[in-house]
A and B are shown apart, each in its own frame.
Chain A
Amino acid sequence: MQGLQILATGAQTLVEDGGRRGYAHLGVPRAGAFDTRAWRLANRLVGNSPDAAVLESLGGGLTVEALGHLTIAVTGAVGDVHIDARTSATNMPVHLAPGSRVRLGMPRAGIRYYLALSGGIRVRPALGSRSHDTLGGVGPAALQEGQVLTAGAERVGPPLVDHVAPVEPATTFNVLPGPDADEDTLSALLAGTWDLDPQSDRIGVRLRGSPLRSETLSLPSKPMVLGAVQLPPNGLPIILGPDHPTTGGYPVIAVVTSDSMCDVAQWSGGPRRFRRA
């Protein structure tokens, strides 16, 4: 058997793939990897089908032991990948012998690591996806210490890339105007410098800064999308993440592009700005 035993989970480790489609009308979030660029790259580095499930791990600390010979790759956040007594890096395939232990160090940039295992992760899909949804708990449960994950059969060939230079997440997020955008509020969003509220998660990324004036307190609830920038009455915008509720009543002043949402996923703090896509 090939697989991984989880020795420590870090702050939170979830199984994620491309997410769910077709259930939003029943209130089921799309879920899926928050940083989709890192998810795809991790799969490419181990020769997996691009939509295989991977582990998404918040901060450092995830520690796993190899069961059998296997190849893994860690992407997303930039940090040390400790393998037994040696130190390797992110963004490259790593071959593990049975019993090898891998520990992810504290990220130097970014906040979410993606760990792909050659063959993918064999977990039962729920509603067409192997993604854990933190809003409703749909999909495979958050990983627990001691748990064993079995490799799947989603390897499609040898890795097509052997190393990709790690890229620090961008500090400017591209946005399109939202359906409720008025020019003044949108301009104020673009003119401001924003920091991260630590109460952010996969449901919503909350901004700190000078509050925007919110003319409208609430609107008829409308269907929401990933990246929607909602403006609640306190004037501090919230960017909706992959586990966002499927409908919401706050005005949406902008929508972060899917590419920039990968940078939002890696935002661990520090000033950020928005610009028109």
Chain B
Amino acid sequence: MELIPFGEDGWLIPTDDPIGLAALIDRTGLDDVVPGQRHVLLRGSQQRVMAAVAGVPEDRPVRAAREVRHLPAQWEGPDLRHVAETAGMSELAVIQALLDTTLTVAFCGFSPGFGYLTGLDERLHIPRRDRPRPQIPAGSIAIAAGYCAVYPTSSPGGWHLIGRCEALLFSADREPPALLSPGDRVRFV
């Protein structure tokens, strides 16, 4: 495995399957194991990181598909019409495409509990808004740049808002704090 140093206590491992690789890493003694789009970051002492890397089996077992999480959705967002027009679809067809797709949490970031969901219908791959909104309400379902996400907290954001989800995506008072972890499968209902 290639290891790219990232600061004094970080190493990036390039991989086509960040979630699969992250699942095989023994986190004992490591500060963090973080999948991205094309990498896994290991943070910790060099000795611990090297030991964790050495412990990854050569043959990657086939991962059992994870249970599907169902997220209740209401399809009423200020950008639904714009998304439909850009995609050349009716609003109903956009909603149907979202309901028909099983998405996967590729990685998290941006803010606590914010999962980048992949697997979106190709017609819905549209760029971010030209102007980010200063405030997006918590629970907004949004798409941009090939991803779908639910904003866990109110924050600025540049994605297209197409719906709302009532589920509590993040709470520091529970373990795990985030409803969605990398690798989870998601369906809107």
Contacts and interface: CB of A to CB of B under 8 A. Distances in A.
Interface stretch (A35-43, A73-81, A85-93, A215-223): A215-223
B41 A135 contact: no
A27 B112 CA distance: 4
Most chain-B Cβ atoms within 10 A of its Cβ — which of A21, A28, A245? Answer: A28
B114 interface: yes
B134 interface: no
Given A22-B31, A223-B35, A223-B36, A176 B5 contact: yes
Given A222-B38, A223-B34, A225-B41, A25 B22 contact: yes
A246 B177 CA distance: 15
A26 interface: yes
B43 interface: yes
Given A135-B112, A223-B39, A247-B108, A26 B8 contact: no
A26 B111 contact: no
Interface residues on B, range: 35 or more
Given A223-B12, A223-B41, A179 B36 contact: no
Interface string A24-65: 111111100000000000000000000000000000000000
Contacts of B172: 126-127, 138-139
Interface in B1-50: 4-10, 12, 22, 27, 31-41, 43
Nearest to A247: B109
A245 B36 CA distance: 12
Contact of B38 (A26, A220, A228, A257): A220
